[in-house]
Structure 1
Amino acid sequence: LASKPLTRFVNQHPTVVVLCLSFLLMIGLSLVAEGFGFHIPKGYLYAAIGFSILIELFNQIARRNFIKQQSNQPLRARTADAILRLMGGRRQVNVQADSDNRNPVPVPEGAFVEEERYMINGVLSLASRSLRGIMTPRGEISWVDANLSIDEIRQQLLSSPHSLFPVCRGELDEIVGIVRAKELLVALEEGGNVEAIAAASPAIVVPETLDPINLLGVLRRARGSFVIVTNEFGVVQGLVTPLDVLEAIAGEFPDADETPEIVADGEGWLVKGTTDLHALSHTLGVENVLNDEEDIATVAGLVISVNGQIPRAGDIIELPPLHITIVEANDYRVDLVRIVKEQSVHDEDE
C-alpha cells in the first residue's frame, strides 16, 4: 500500500534519497561500532536524524515557494532574469594605456556592464514584444506621392535624410512600391515615370500580429529595404527597418531629423508618447509598466489605459512609483509626457 506513494514522493524529492542513505550509513556505522564493543549513545543518533529532518523540511518549503514564484513568470522572463543576475554579478577590471606615459590605467569596475545588461535584456525580450513597439509609426513615415509634380518630389527627397521611400498613389495606404532616393532622383532627371519606377520594387507587407523573431526572416528577404506593417483591414500602421530591430536590442539611434525618445529633465525624464515600454522600463528601472496580458506597447497607450481616455495637457497620472505629467497632447494622441520616479527606501540607501 505504501510503495507507490513512497516511490512517487522519492521521485518528486531527490534530496530525500540522499538523506535516507545518510541515515542508513549512520545506523550501519553505529551497529559496526557496537559489534567491536564500542557503545554509541542512541541520543546522538536521534538528535542528528531529527536535526537533518528539520533542515530538509525547511528546504522543501523553500523549494516549493521558489517553484510557485517561478511559475508566475514566463520561461523567457525567468531566463532573462537569471542571465542579467549573472551579468550584474560579474566583476570587470579593464586596463587602458595612457597616451602620454603608456602606463596602464585601470577602468572603473563594471564600466560596460550596464550596456551589456541592456543588450542581453533586449535579445531575450525581443520575441515577447509586438511590432507596434518596434516599428516606426504611421505618423512618422516619410513617403512620396506619385501624383505630385517632379519639382515637388525632388524637393521632398533632397530635404529628407532618409534614403528609402515608399511611393504611394495619393495616400499612404495606396503603396505602389519602395524606391531609393538616389535612383529616383536620377530617374527624375531623365524624365522617368515615378509610379512605373516604384512598381518595379513592390513593398513587402506583414501583419501587425507577426512575431518579431519571424520578422527577421522577412527582413532578410527585403535585402536592405524595409517592410510595411498593416492591420487586419489593410490600413498601414507603420514600417520596420533592420535599424528598428537593432534599436530594440541595443538602444536608440536617432536619425538626423529625430530627437531622443527619453531625455533626462532634472529629477525626471521627458518621454515621447511613441516610446516603447521596454525601453522605458529599462531606463527608469521599473517593471510594473509591462503587462503581457494587456496589448499595450507605448507610453501613450499606457497613460490612455490608466486614465481611461485620452488625457489633456497638464493632467497628472499616478502609476506608483511613477508620477506622470502630460506635457503635449491633443484630441487624438499623447505626444510628450514628463515622468518622475519616486525614490524607494532601498534606492535612497544606495
Structure 2
Amino acid sequence: MVEKVDVYSDKSNGSKIYAFDYLRVIALVMILYDHLGGFYNLNWIVKKIIDFFFAVPLDIIQDFGAFGVSLFFLLSGFLFTYNGNYKNEAKKTFKKTMKTYVGCLMAFFLFYILQRLTWIIKTTYWSQFSTKQWIESMTLVGYFTGHGDVINGTTWFLIPLFLFYLVRIGYAWIYEKIKPEYNFLFLELFVLLIMFLLKGFHLSVSSTLVFVYMPLMGMILGEIFRKERRISIFNGSLLLILNYVLMVIWFWVFAREYHDTYCYFVSFIYSLFLIIIFAIFKEQFKKSQMIDFCCKISLSVYLMHMTFGRFLLSFFSYISIPFSLSFVITIAVIFLISYIHMNILSRIIR
C-alpha cells in the first residue's frame, strides 16, 4: 500500500520534491478506482470507457490496481536511496513499522465495531468470519497461516513492505563501508536466501514476500538519479537487469499466475517508466495543498478503503442509489474517516 509513510523530500538540498507527491496520488487513485470502482462493478459505464481506451489496448490488469501497487513499491525504494538520509535508519524504520502496524490494528478495530453494530440489524458479508479469522487478519498473522486477506484484501501489501524495511536497514548499515554496487549485490543475495528458504519450507506467505523485488528496483533507480550519485548508469543498469531477472524467476515460482496468465509485469514496467519520467521532469511540478493532503492521509486511506468502502457501496446499493453517485460519496466518506484515523494515529505514534 506505497510506501505511504516515507518523507518526500530531497535531503541533499533541503528542497521538497513535489513530483513524487503527484505520482503517489496517481497510484492512490488507481487503487481506489480498482477496489471500489472497476473491480466492484463490472458494468459501470466509467469502467467500460476506461477499459476500451486504456486497460484493454494497453494490457493493464486488475483495473489499474497492479499499476498502483507497483508504483507504491517502486516509490518506496526510489525515495529511500534518492534522499540518501541513512542516519539512525534502524530507529526511523522501527517507528515507521510501528506506525503502519498500529494503523492497521486501528483500522480493523474500527471496522469491527461498525460491523458489530450493523449485525444487530442485518448480517453482512463480514458476518461469516470467526473471531479467530478477525484476529488473524487484524494482526497479519493470517498471512503465515493462510487466512490473511479474508477480511481486508489489501493488507497483504504490508508483508513485503516490512521485509523491505529490514532490507533498507541493512543497506544503510553498510552504506559507508562498501561501494553501492556491492551493497546492492549483498541485498540481492540476502533476498535470494530468503526466497530459497521460503521455497524449502513451503510457507503460504511466499506469494506476497516476492514483491520485495519491486522496492529493490526502486532503490537502484533512486541511487542512479540522486545528485550525489555513487553508482554509474552502466552498473546501475546491470543491477536493474539482475533484479528484474531474479524477480521474474521467483514470481514464476511463487505467483505463477502473474507470470503465465495475468500480465502483472506490464503494469510494473509502466510504473518503472512513469517514475523515470517524473524524476526527469521533477522541477516542473509545484506545491499543491490538495496533493499534500492526499499524501498525508494516503496510509490511512489504503488501510481503510477496502473494508469501509465496500460496506458503504453495499449499503448504497441496498437503498438503490445510482452507482456513480455511490462511488463519489464513498470516496468522500473514506477521505473523511481516513483524516480522522491519521490524526489519531499521529497522536499515538509521534
Normalising by structure 2, report the TM-score. Answer: 0.22
Say which structure is richer in helix.
2
Say which structure is richer in strand.
1
Normalising by structure 1, report the TM-score. Answer: 0.22
